A and B are shown apart, each in its own frame.
Chain A
Amino acid sequence: DIEMTQSPSSLSASVGDRVTITCRASQTIGPYLNWYQQRQGKAPRLLIYATSGLQSGVPSRFSGSASGTDFTLTISSLQPEDYGTYYCQQSYFPPRTFGQGTKVEI
């Protein structure tokens, strides 16, 4: 299976901060990397698909990028509603695999 490793596992930031979360794939996965946000007790919500595609309805402060097998989710200006746990997920090859999550506290 393709292993997805996220860092950091948790972070605390202030409103207005620029936040960066990294996800590293254990092998090349092309652009097939998605990002999700999950709030406590809720289902994950798609934020970014195919590395940098912004899902409809998601604020433009969220963006994604890649360098080789390293992928980055950036929140340009953290807002109070951005708390939660963020997961990356590869769709390059089955089985689909997720990162272990990054918990964002504000």
Chain B
Amino acid sequence: QVRLQESGPGLVRPSQTLSLTCSISGVSVNIGGDYWSWIRQSAGKGLEWIGRVYGTGTAESNPSLESRVSLSLDTSSNKLSLTLTSVTAADTAVYYCARDHYGGLPSPGYHFDVWGQGVLVTVSS
């Protein structure tokens, strides 16, 4: 059974860097056609996709955050990481990691089929 668990500081000061880790168990991240994503949820903006990483290390991120986001995947420890620089109060949210799974035929496309429980990050001085 695939399980995801986010971890990281619950409070980050404005203009500082937010760093989160997602521990993945039950599957090896460098096997198969899945991506590993970060998604956040705030009261103001609902659910927002941050970006995703493939097992090879290929990453793509939301253009709205691209200049501040760094995503990485450590295949040796099976951990996904997120770094978000220059945070403001607008970055306060619950951050989730999720598996972006390819459905294949006859149901093509990707969907987030496994989620972590989420971690609340508050940006405040």
Contacts and interface: CB of A to CB of B under 8 A. Distances in A.
A52 B107 CA distance: 8
B103 A50 contact: yes
B60 to A, nearest CB: 6
- With a 10 A CB-CB cut-off, give which of B47, B63, B64, B108 has the most chain A CB atoms: B47
Interface residues of B, number: 23
B113 A32 contact: no
B115 A44 contact: yes
Interface residues of A, number: 26
Contacts of B49: 94-98
Given A32-B108, A50-B107, A91-B109, A45 B115 contact: yes
B108 A50 contact: yes
Given A89-B112, A92-B109, A98-B49, 7 more contacts: A30-B109, A31-B108, A34-B109, A36-B112, A53-B107, A89-B47, A98-B47
B31 to A, nearest CB: 20
Contact of A50 (B46, B47, B111, B117): B111
Contact of A55 (B98, B113, B116, B118): B113
Interface string A70-104: 00000000000000000101011011111011000
B28 interface: no
Contacts of A91: 109-111
Mostly helix, strand, loop or mixed at chain A's interface? Answer: loop
Contacts of A98: 46-49
B58 interface: no
Contacts of A50: 103, 107-109, 111
Contacts of B108: 31-32, 50
Nearest to B6: A43
Contact of B96 (A30, A43, A92, A96): A43
A66 interface: no
A75 to B, nearest CB: 19
Contacts of A43: 96, 98, 115-118
